[in-house]
Amino acid sequence: MDTIETISQTAAGLFAARPVGRGGFVSRIVRMVKSLGRWIDGLLERRRSRLALLDMTDDQLKDIGISRCDAHREGIRPFWK
């Protein structure tokens, strides 16, 4: 019987509502905004690199092993894909 009580008390502690002060709420918002900023930065970096493929010469594309057709196909893709 002690084991069952211990398990139920432990489970209740895991899922118990924890009071979140104003500082906790603000820090969550800050983390969310930073995460959103990193996500947007990644999307923009992907777009910049795809546009760079379109600007490369045939020799440069050959050096990295990409055909002109593949570079064009990748370069015109939307930034969210």
Greatest alpha-carbon span in the chain: 76
* DSSP-derived 3-state class of residue 69: helix
pLDDT value at 7 more than 90: no
Domain boundaries, the chain: 46-81
Question: What's the mean pLDDT when you consider all of the chain?
Answer: 82
Tokens of 59: 């020799």
Which of the pair, 1 or 68, is modelled with greater confidence?
A: 68
Q: What is the rounded CA–CA span in Å between residue 2 and residue 47?
A: 60
- Position 11 scores a pLDDT of 55
Cα–Cα distances in angstroms (integers) from residue 61 to residues 10, 44, 48, 72, in the given order: 59, 22, 16, 11
pTM: 0.59
